[in-house]
Chains A and B, each alone.
Chain A
Amino acid sequence: MSYFDILISILGSTIRLSIPLLFTALAGLFSERAGIFDIGLEGKMLASAFAAACVAYVTGSPWLGLLAGIAISIAFSLIHGFAAITNRGNQIVSGVALNFVAAGLTLVLGQAWFNQGGRTPQLPPSARFSPITLPGADLVRDVPVLGPLYANVISGNNILTYLAFLAVPISWWVLYRTRFGLRLRAVGENPGAVDTAGISVAWLRYRSVIVAGFLCGFAGTYLAVAQSAAFIKDMSAGKGYIALAALIFAKWKPVPVMFACLLFGFLDAVANFMQGKSVPFIGEVPVQIFQCLPYVLTCILLAGFIGVAHPPKAGGVPYTKER
């Protein structure tokens, strides 16, 4: 295999691996910009993957699976909101709790319903989101450099992939060009001011966690119904935390979020590719280095060595209207 073919194959898997990160990080973006920390992204992703796989299996429709994934993810978001907004509980504790509930419940219900050791049954191709070949992909395949790039990296992904990249400009537009977005950002910085302006802090924050749940539903569905063909035990495998890292790495901004997710997806793809291969002069590089690089990079960023990341000021602080 030539180096160029290797690059194309790594780029292709970069796209595939960064999509769940992208949806999840955008979900975290909406929640955290409104001042609600969301450690529970991982759990929401897992729960929606399970729901999507179940419904897609029963109904045979990936779209109904997607709906179920979104619904369950929003339900988790609402519990998080109820704890964090209405009861002014600790947001971190609530997120940790929901992660556990999701990790346990998916396996308990999966085993009880399908009896396959926590897996859901294999989905037939018709119940999955299948790859879409973009127009002209086969025509340009032989054009040097750009041809394979278009045919193998840009084309040939499923609909959710394109939706993920579409979600980036939409998120940007919503956050920076709409009244809702302005208020959402304001409520994450200074909820008192928003309250003074006569806008309900609680309702605004509830809407933001619902948006977060909505986006996380896509991430989970992507895992179970597009990337794989079933729900597998613990299939989110820490992606929720990597997405959180990407969100911080991108300093809570939508377009950088996309690049951070692509970077972390790329690292993941390289790690997969490097497994058991040796690099000239260095020898075999341990896979674990690539696996922990996103976390190391995020810590270095948080330490303030790569620019400074300013989290939303009111993040994690419950809003008390009166004492």
Chain B
Amino acid sequence: MSTASVQLPNWITYGLLPLLNLMLAFFISGIVVWMIGENPWEALKLMLEGALGRGDAIGFTLFYATSFIFTGLSVAVAFHAGLFNIGSEGQAYVGGLGAALVALALDHYTPWYVTMPFAIIGAALFGAAWALIPAWLQAKRGSHIVITTIMFNFIGAALMVYLLVNVMIVPGKMAPETRNFLPGGQLPKLDWLMALFGLKLGPAPFNVSFLIALAMCFLVWLLIWRTKLGYEMRTLGISPSAAVYAGVPYVRTVVIAMLISGGLAGMMALNPVMGASGRLQVEFVGGAGFVGIAVSLMGRSHPVGILLAAILFGILYQGGADLSFEMPNITRDMIVVIQGLVILFAGALEYMFRPALVRIYQQFARG
């Protein structure tokens, strides 16, 4: 009998199976470290220390996690509607333009807490706008959204480089970036939050966008599981034909899902642009959009899972950076390998262990 139709209890499907996949990904990463000639245990210890050992380390970890929460939510919302949005990277990049324009326009006149809501709207609007054309092409013309969003990542990158090099650059400077925002255009750091736990933030750029990200987690949960639109999106994701038969407007739902997805990706820009560097730079996204895919897959597209997965990847990014100082043989790029392996095992090979688990489970259930 085929094992695919056997029901497994939730703690296996949502607990044990992802855990096994994750452990396999880390095991293979360990083999790579060992092949390089370093001790994997030692590397793991250094990495955890580098990510969680000090106040500023935790600050950096949470700073990275903030970006990944946004992009993870972005991928997840589209995923619930059955759409694979590979374009979070480009949407976040263009979203940075929205955030930067607001910051540049307002920072002379308003304090940060007035600028912030406008910046959130600006970033979300620009991110959503960058998702609009792929969404429309998918909904109306049937063009595969994976391909169009990949194309739009590249078009967005070209557009942003052009704007930064030719339009938004500070006259007379070489670096393709905007001027520094005044404090009115920056998001303050969360040192008080860290101080509550008796930790010193130090130079880490952990900032208010973390709180925005948490709010978005809640809003996404509300949207997906507590609203009519969310219900329609999930129906569409599970079975488009059934959804259309039940009266779900296909074009509208696809476009709205992608706009929300793009908006969430765009908001990611708040964190690095307004929270950390205080200016818009070339390639500030740095692959966070792609990490969002891994985060969403690991978090099973649920906000709580995404939060946990984002923190895990925050640990990887910060710990990996620290590790490359301690063990110069292991470069930061090791993170990219681990990320790839996590996507491979938690995503593409997610059911690899399932048949075996079903057999073991049935043994126990019978006996």
B144 located at the interface, meaning its Cβ lies under 8 Å from any Cβ of chain A in the complex: yes
A125 located at the interface, meaning its Cβ lies under 8 Å from any Cβ of chain B in the complex: no
Determine the residue in chain B with the shortest Cβ distance to A292.
B158
Alpha-carbon distance between A183 and B159 when the two chains are bound, in angstroms = 43
Alpha-carbon distance between A88 and B84 when the two chains are bound, in angstroms = 17
Stretch touching chain A among B116-124, B233-241, B339-347: B339-347
Quick one: given A83-B349, A241-B150, A245-B151, are A92 and B84 in contact (CB under 8 Å)? yes
- A104 contacts B340, C-beta separation under 8 Å: yes
Pick from B158, B297, B333, B349: contact of A108, CB under 8 Å = B333
Determine the residue in chain A with the shortest Cβ distance to B37.
A112
- B344 contacts A288, C-beta separation under 8 Å: no
B180 located at the interface, meaning its Cβ lies under 8 Å from any Cβ of chain A in the complex: no
Contact with A along B101-139 (1 / 0, CB 8 A): 000000000000000000000000000000001000100
Alpha-carbon distance between A39 and B350 when the two chains are bound, in angstroms = 18
Quick one: given A302-B144, A323-B4, are A96 and B137 in contact (CB under 8 Å)? no
B86 located at the interface, meaning its Cβ lies under 8 Å from any Cβ of chain A in the complex: yes
- B340 contacts A101, C-beta separation under 8 Å: yes
The bracket for how many chain B residues form the interface is 35 or more
Alpha-carbon distance between A311 and B36 when the two chains are bound, in angstroms = 42
- B336 contacts A103, C-beta separation under 8 Å: yes
Alpha-carbon distance between A79 and B141 when the two chains are bound, in angstroms = 33
Pick from A93, A101, A107, A323: contact of B297, CB under 8 Å = A93
Alpha-carbon distance between A273 and B286 when the two chains are bound, in angstroms = 28
Q: Find residues 309-367 in chain B having any chain A CB closer than 8 Å to their own CB.
A: 329-331, 333-341, 343-344, 347-352
Quick one: given A92-B84, A92-B146, A295-B154, are A104 and B336 in contact (CB under 8 Å)? yes
Residue in A111, A244, A291 with the greatest tally of chain B CB atoms within 10 Å: A111
- A83 contacts B344, C-beta separation under 8 Å: yes
Q: Find residues 267-307 in chain B having any chain A CB closer than 8 Å to their own CB.
A: 290, 293, 297
Within the complex, the shortest CB–CB distance from A230 to chain B, in Å, comes to 17
Alpha-carbon distance between A103 and B337 when the two chains are bound, in angstroms = 7
Within the complex, the shortest CB–CB distance from A290 to chain B, in Å, comes to 9
A90 located at the interface, meaning its Cβ lies under 8 Å from any Cβ of chain B in the complex: yes
A136 located at the interface, meaning its Cβ lies under 8 Å from any Cβ of chain B in the complex: no
B248 located at the interface, meaning its Cβ lies under 8 Å from any Cβ of chain A in the complex: no
- B334 contacts A96, C-beta separation under 8 Å: no
Residues of A within 8 A of B133 (CB): 299
Quick one: given A118-B331, A286-B162, A323-B5, are A100 and B336 in contact (CB under 8 Å)? yes
A170 located at the interface, meaning its Cβ lies under 8 Å from any Cβ of chain B in the complex: no
Alpha-carbon distance between A39 and B349 when the two chains are bound, in angstroms = 16
Alpha-carbon distance between A58 and B290 when the two chains are bound, in angstroms = 34
Determine the residue in chain B with the shortest Cβ distance to A302.
B143
Determine the residue in chain B with the shortest Cβ distance to A234.
B333
Alpha-carbon distance between A319 and B86 when the two chains are bound, in angstroms = 24
Alpha-carbon distance between A245 and B149 when the two chains are bound, in angstroms = 12
A298 located at the interface, meaning its Cβ lies under 8 Å from any Cβ of chain B in the complex: yes
Alpha-carbon distance between A45 and B347 when the two chains are bound, in angstroms = 22
Contact with B along A219-256 (1 / 0, CB 8 A): 00000000000000000001001001100100000000
Pick from A84, A288, A298, A311: contact of B158, CB under 8 Å = A288
- B333 contacts A96, C-beta separation under 8 Å: no
Pick from A88, A96, A248: contact of B290, CB under 8 Å = A96
Alpha-carbon distance between A322 and B347 when the two chains are bound, in angstroms = 23
- A100 contacts B348, C-beta separation under 8 Å: no
Quick one: given A94-B348, A97-B347, A103-B336, are A299 and B143 in contact (CB under 8 Å)? yes
Interface residues of A (CB under 8 A from B): 37, 39, 79, 82-84, 87-94, 96-105, 107-109, 111-112, 118, 238, 241, 244-245, 248, 286, 288-289, 291-292, 295-296, 298-299, 302-304, 311, 320, 322-323
Name 13 interchain pairs, CB-CB below 8 A, sorted by A.
Answer: A37-B146, A39-B150, A83-B344, A97-B341, A100-B343, A102-B340, A103-B333, A103-B336, A107-B331, A111-B331, A112-B329, A289-B158, A299-B133
